[in-house]
Chain A
Amino acid sequence: MQLYDLITRLSAATAPSGFEESVFARVQELLAPYVDEIASDALGNLLAVKRCGVPDAEQLMLEAHMDEIGLIITGFEAGFLRFAKIGGVDPRVLPAQRLRILTNPPIFGVIEALPPHIQETGEEDEAVSADKLFVDVGLSEQAAKAKIPLGTAAVFDEAPELLAGERLLGKALDNRACVAILIKAMEELAEKELAVNVSLLISTQEELGYRGAQTGAFALRPDRALVLDVTHAATPDSKKGETVKLAAGAAVGVGPNLSREISGKLLELARKKEIPVQTEVLPGSSGTDAWVIQVSRTGVPTGLISLPLRYMHTPSELVSLKDAECCVRLVTEFVLAAGREAQNA
């Protein structure tokens, strides 16, 4: 399947942290042809294995989280719904936003905006805090209570849209684009002879603090891990030092959270195979599942490939499809090279 199709299909899944069942099913279906086994665990992680047949081969774990940020319904007020955030959502993107409320079947809702006439002058410079915002589902309070139990999750209701320059706009590209990259890489590797057992951890609840990765990595017990997540690409309102460049290739993380050997190997492979990459320096936590995987059990050497992305955690995240292709190539080359380092040396 084309990478674009994989990304858009996965972006359409509605699965905030803790509610990943629907995206689990979709990933399972897309990944199944390329792995030997797929399993789940108590936190809802998807664990998969592709064996290479070599006795005592190393286990290399490829990892990406599948949850997205969202909202959760916490109360009712005159037919409108109160909500709390799941993960880091900027309240400034919420007014006049369409939502899909994850009942069965889903219900459409709109976060109503307070009209300007009821505000004091100058208040349009002040953001409306999330506790002053409400979801309109067009229902009486009685009907809303009957249809929408407390604790129902909701996600932004936005379809993917292709922009100029092979750039893709959509919700939940953090981190469905990286899940798609891993599925595409496994497709590329399907017929290849490997020297390592490849395991996949498609994790849950990353947006709430790497929760799925903690138990998933424990269960799989990998020898090494390669994490894929998104990172901030430059925008006019961001500072230079805190971002990478969009459409300048995959970002390879370097820093204490990551194995120097793996980071070095990734950069070396990129140079040899002429894959566009950029180095992303991470002085502390990478802010990804790599943070907990590195210290799983007795420690796991971990690498990180990041896909540059603008407008993270908004209803319209933006990635470059060319960057995503670079990530696929880099993952594929890394897996092909893994386990052969000794014989090549």
Chain B
Amino acid sequence: MLDTTKTLCLLSGVSGFEDEVRDYILERVLPYADELETDSLGNLIVHKKGKVPGDKRVAFFAHMDEVGVIITGADDDGFLRFDFIGGVDRRVAIGKRVCLGFARVPGVIGIKAHHLVSREEEKKIPSLSAMYIDVGAPDRKSALELVCLGDVGVFSDQVTEFGEGFLAAKALDDRIGCAALIKLIESELPLDCDFVFTAQEEVGARGAKVASARLNPDVAIIIESTTAADLPEVPEGKTVCRLGEGLVLPYMDKGAMYSRELYSALTALCDANNIKWQTKGLIAGGTDAQVIQRSGAGVATAAISAPVRSLHAPISVAKIEDFETIPRLAMLFLESLVNETPPSFHATPPSFRA
């Protein structure tokens, strides 16, 4: 799963432009899938049969897209104007390298030399309209020969293992989830499952909306990456979660109140099987759950997340042992659905029909 994560992080997949990631995943899962489909938003949906069909329709979700930039203009001197796709803090973008378009044109988000910056200016972050990308083009015409308006770009792509089992890369959010889903698809499953690699999570869970409408699952498990602020200078109450403390099982975030039954079932499975877990100490962030849970007549939804520092930054950091246990927990959960009395996910709705 580590190698898959590393490979996935190197691919470009800004929201709405997930092609490279989807193509890679498609190739990886093709030998193991019973059925594959894509839809108009670019979701990739994989159906895989298990030992038994199962009573409930279970679907796993992970999003393929990442945050990035989109080119909106070029000036006379060849500098490109841009906007962000997804939530990028301008403070992490300054001075960072990007590569643009399918041709991966290299460039940098420039900032003038520190010598030319006043003490007042140093304390302020330039507005987006004052920021620009330099691709080395001497004028507008040459710039627009290299990139077109609407081309998207990602932060420069390197993956580094470091320290005592840490991983630094862009797009850990949510290629970790994609890698976990691939690992599950490659395994022998206790029951039939659907796996959805969603598009456009970072711009408002757009892909998950149509995918859950198509599948109409009973149970949805979202594999995500969640923000860890376990840094000095951050007060204890705002750290959310910590690296090295295991996978994260949220009970609530800004987008969803997770199924209490599933939350209890997952935490119990972790405890019974010595899987290190933590929950979030602050209601922050959101996942595809915000739309999946409210899809159709409602879906029992849970999330299993990896704690990640500097989420949405050009380089984010995860601890490998925190996320390598995710597929195991997912598998234990599936086994529990077959072997044990499953938790009741929701009351049977009243029938108004005769």
Residues of A bordering B, CB below 8 Å: 77-78, 80, 88-93, 95-98, 107-110, 112-118, 124-129, 132, 134, 136-140, 143, 158, 161-167, 169, 232, 234-239, 242-243, 247, 287, 310-316, 318
Contacts and interface: CB of A to CB of B under 8 A. Distances in A.
A112 B317 contact: yes
A164 B136 CA distance: 5
Contact of B122 (A127, A137, A165, A169): A127
A311 B95 contact: yes
Contact of A314 (B95, B122, B316): B95
Given A118-B234, A126-B123, 15 more contacts: A95-B92, A98-B160, A98-B315, A107-B162, A117-B240, A125-B127, A127-B124, A161-B97, A162-B106, A163-B106, A236-B79, A237-B126, A243-B116, A315-B96, A318-B110
Contact of B168 (A108, A113, A125, A169): A108
A247 B77 CA distance: 12
Interface in B98-124: 105-108, 110-117, 122-124
Given A232-B113, A318-B136, A114 B160 contact: no
Contacts of A126: 123-125
A237 B164 contact: no
Contacts, number: 205
Given A88-B115, A107-B162, A126-B125, A236 B89 contact: no
A134 B232 CA distance: 7
Contacts of A161: 97, 106
A287 B115 CA distance: 10
B310 A113 contact: yes
Contacts of A314: 95, 111, 113-114
Contacts of B135: 163-164
Nearest to A109: B162
Which among A117, A143, A166, A169 has the highest number of chain B CB atoms within 10 Å?
A: A117
Interface in B228-249: 229, 231-234, 238, 240
A161 B108 CA distance: 10
B68 interface: no
Contacts of A318: 108, 110, 134, 136
Interface residues of B, number: 67
Contacts of A165: 136-138, 142
A113 B122 CA distance: 17
B125 A116 contact: no
Contacts of A129: 123
B115 A96 contact: no
Given A92-B125, A136-B317, A318-B108, A80 B310 contact: no
A237 B116 CA distance: 10
B172 to A, nearest CB: 12
B115 A139 contact: no
B310 A96 contact: yes
Contacts of B217: none
Contacts of A107: 162-163
B125 A124 contact: yes
Nearest to B168: A110
B124 A117 contact: no
Contacts of A167: 136
B310 A112 contact: yes
A112 B231 contact: yes
B317 A138 contact: yes
B311 interface: yes
Nearest to A233: B113
Nearest to B170: A96
B311 A124 contact: no
A161 to B, nearest CB: 5
Contacts of A112: 231, 309-310, 317
B87 A237 contact: no
Interface string B116-156: 11000011111100101011111000100010000000000
Contact of B123 (A127, A242, A243, A287): A127
Contacts of A97: 95-96, 315
Given A139-B164, A318-B134, A117 B90 contact: no
Contacts of A164: 105, 135-137, 142, 146
A108 B115 CA distance: 28
A188 B232 CA distance: 53
A312 B113 CA distance: 5
B110 A310 contact: yes
Contacts of A232: 112-113, 115-116
B234 A139 contact: no
Contacts of B114: 88-90, 312-314
B176 to A, nearest CB: 16
Contacts of A80: 231-232
A138 B165 contact: yes
Interface in B269-315: 282, 284-285, 309-311, 313-315
Nearest to B233: A132
A92 to B, nearest CB: 5
Nearest to B108: A316
B227 interface: yes
B112 A311 contact: yes
B68 to A, nearest CB: 14
B35 interface: no
Nearest to A82: B232
B278 to A, nearest CB: 17
B91 interface: yes
22 contacts: A80-B231, A88-B114, A90-B95, A93-B95, A95-B310, A98-B168, A108-B162, A117-B229, A124-B89, A124-B91, A126-B124, A127-B122, A129-B123, A138-B162, A138-B164, A162-B106, A166-B136, A232-B115, A236-B130, A287-B115, A310-B134, A318-B134
